[in-house]
Chains A and B, each alone.
Chain A
Amino acid sequence: MARKKMQGAEIVIEALKEQGVTEIFGYPGGAVLPLYDAIFKQNQIRHILVRQEGGAVHAAEGYARSTGKVGVVLVTSGPGATNAVTGLTDALMDSIPVVCLTGQVPTHLIGNDAFQECDTTGITRPCTKLNYLVKDVSDLANVVHEAFHVARSGRPGPVVIDLPKDVIMAMGTYQEAGTAPAEKYSPRVKGDQSAIAEAVRLLGQAKKPIIYAGGGVINSGPKASKLLQDLVKLSGAPCTLTLMGLGAYPASDKQFVGMLGMHGTYEANLAMHDCDVMICVGARFDDRITGRLDAFSPESKKVHIDIDPSSINKNVPVDVPIVGDVASVLADMIKKWKALKPKQDQAALKKWWGQIDQWRAKKCLAFQQKGDTIKPQHAIRRLFELTQGRETFVTTEVGQHQMWAAQYYNFDKPNHWMTSGGLGTMGYGLPAAMGVQVAHPDALVVDIAGEASTLMNIQEMSTIVQYRLPVKIFILNNEYMGMVRQWQELLHGGRYSESYMESLPDFVKLAESFHAVGLRATKASQLDDVIKEMIEIDRPVIADIAIDKLENCFPMIPSGAAHNEMLLGPNDKAEKQISEQGMVLV
């Protein structure tokens, strides 16, 4: 049968449909007009018009992280592509599957400094898992299919497809997925069985075990979270999660010892420091987690499960590396555990839990809400309590509010917490929430924000209103770049250089100017009502919560310090001076 010829742009849209795409986040321009024309002529794929390309990528990230699907972005050449760079880097650092289509000047003009030309593949090479410049219409369909495969397989990540205008205007034939020669990219999924047996043996013999899990569990899918719970239950070990892993293990469970790392709990960090066997599942021994490397968990045998071999032995040498997909390896470990039925040292485990309970008794996250001034911890706690029993997704910006959200909002399910962990991108949360809401129209989606971060992508309020996305922006307003101010207080003699937010907008009026709803709480007594109203209103809301301006985020392991040199509160800092070496670190 002779295949029908179609235009390149239509081939692209056809391939997206075949890949199951139902939403694209984008912004038009000269180089992509043929694609916009093809979008106009169909109604299977919905295009969400953002207000800045950076917003499109974060929206796609939120969409991807809350659904497990690939997020899709469409931007024009030149400035469209360069505006997408922050989001692509963010997606690379946090391993989020995104396919970003960029327009490009026609092939004969490439290299001519043509209008709105930039070297997109050159610029995005270091911030993508893979990128393509398509020069021939006959490659188009296969490139799109392959891009989705690469974005979602192995350790997920962003993929850019640069599309010269003449290529998307040329006529070609469509090729279905799977018709190209066998996919060349096939990362290892199944773990080495002898390493798995060794890991089970170590865990079974451990006197002071800990299971430390991260975003890799979420990326592996909901099954991986379930299996993680099974393994934690079987072994009786405590479980701690990274910032990216929150939700992979239920926060409400008694074997959960909280988040670890720079602003993690006392019990999680000390258990990491003192354990004798550590099972790292889909996490990467990031510098926010390890603190001072030479003092990191000095006595433990370490097992590391990761789909990306380059994550293993990168920062911390491990005893048992296992390359494979988290779900597959955990399933094998559980099978092995049930077969071997290890005889655990129950007395030792009991002692270990006794020790953990002593650390817990420090109540490192305790706070006091007294008087009128709203404590940020209290605001998050109430938000958590008042949103119980609803399908709630939380995104965040970057700063103190992000850490308070991680500490005081408890997640029991994966894929409900979206935060910029690796890159730490202010301005992530608002567009990410927009992407989450597009994917989950009936859910409650809250961006826990700081006032400074909110202003970084505030233009997306317009998108949120246009598509009737009832996103809630919950601003913990301290009128400071709080996290910057905190570091200046601890490390730079309290010289608050450029961290005060002058001339802030009136966020209530700002919301209203976007035709959204603005609410405000300035006193503790108003907080609950504002939160309840925010939840009830079926429209986008900015809730401006005036919090204690000088509150700091504790516990804290200062840069360059070890886990057992943690600052528990403001009074600790006098005794434990932060080293010169630590100051160099970020």
Chain B
Amino acid sequence: MSEPSKEVNRHTIAVLVDNEPGVLARVIGLFSGRGYNIESLTVAETDHAKSLSRITVVTSGTPMIIEQIKAQLGRLVPVHKVADLTQDGPHVERELALVKVVGKGEKRVESLRIADIFRARAVDSSNNSFVFEIVGAASKIDAFIELMQPLGLSEVSRTGAAAISRGNKPI
């Protein structure tokens, strides 16, 4: 067998699990117990009738580690399906962030202007603050937050990634 690649890549993995207590702990425990990375993790019930939750986990590792992560996830009893969205083809990935910016005068106006360019919405405002809601890829949100920094950035709340494959097929 040829030398396996040592290149570290970022993968977005979707995991369908039983919506039962302890399942999320088992998944997280697997990552911490085996020393895998978690860059972000998002979880919510997605099928109420079948009581299924979808966990989206963004992780990174060499091809061998990524394969291990998927195999380890796959063998957990409450896990129904594991899909590597990064590997399986094009997919859409979105995060949501709520960004509080505090300021007056020109800075306040500038923050609104940038929000407009980024298609962020002001979902709350007071006479010296805004809360912007922004949805997009992680890199877009990173860029937005960076631009808000000098304009009075005060607080950020961010979800992890939610992701789904493109096209007509489910995972």
Contact = CB atoms under 8 A, between A and B. Distances in A.
B167 interface: no
A309 B33 contact: no
Nearest to B32: A126
Interface string A146-171: 00001000110000000000000000
Contacts of A129: 77
Contacts of B25: 122, 125
A310 B71 contact: yes
Contacts of B22: 121, 125, 131, 133
A187 B71 CA distance: 12
B28 to A, nearest CB: 10
Contact of B75 (A126, A155, A316, A319): A155
B68 interface: yes
A318 B1 contact: yes
Contacts of A154: 75
A276 interface: no
Contacts of B18: 184
A441 interface: no
B150 interface: no
A23 interface: no
A319 B1 CA distance: 6
Interface string B127-171: 000000000000000000000000000000000000000000000
B67 interface: yes
Contact of A125 (B1, B29, B67, B68): B29
A185 B75 CA distance: 10
Contact-size category for B: 10 to 19
B89 interface: no
Interface in B18-67: 18, 21-22, 25-26, 29, 33, 64, 67
B9 interface: no
A312 B77 contact: no
B105 interface: no
B75 A308 contact: yes
A313 interface: yes
Given A121-B22, A125-B25, A317 B4 contact: yes
Contacts of A319: 1
Nearest to A122: B25
B72 interface: yes
A131 to B, nearest CB: 7
Contacts of B1: 301-302, 316-319
B59 to A, nearest CB: 15
B74 interface: yes
Contacts of B4: 317
A576 interface: no
A301 B33 CA distance: 31
Given A185-B77, A308-B75, A319-B1, A313 B68 contact: yes
Nearest to A298: B1
A130 B77 contact: yes
5 contacts: A302-B1, A310-B68, A312-B71, A317-B4, A317-B64
Interface of A: 121-122, 125-126, 129-131, 133, 150, 154-155, 184-185, 187, 301-302, 308-310, 312-314, 316-319
Closest A-B pairs by Cβ, 8 of them:
A310-B71, A309-B71, A130-B77, A317-B1, A310-B72, A317-B4, A185-B77, A310-B75
Given A126-B29, A150-B77, A302-B1, 20 more contacts: A121-B22, A130-B78, A131-B22, A133-B21, A133-B22, A184-B18, A187-B75, A308-B71, A308-B75, A309-B71, A309-B74, A309-B75, A310-B72, A310-B75, A313-B67, A313-B71, A316-B1, A317-B1, A317-B4, A317-B64
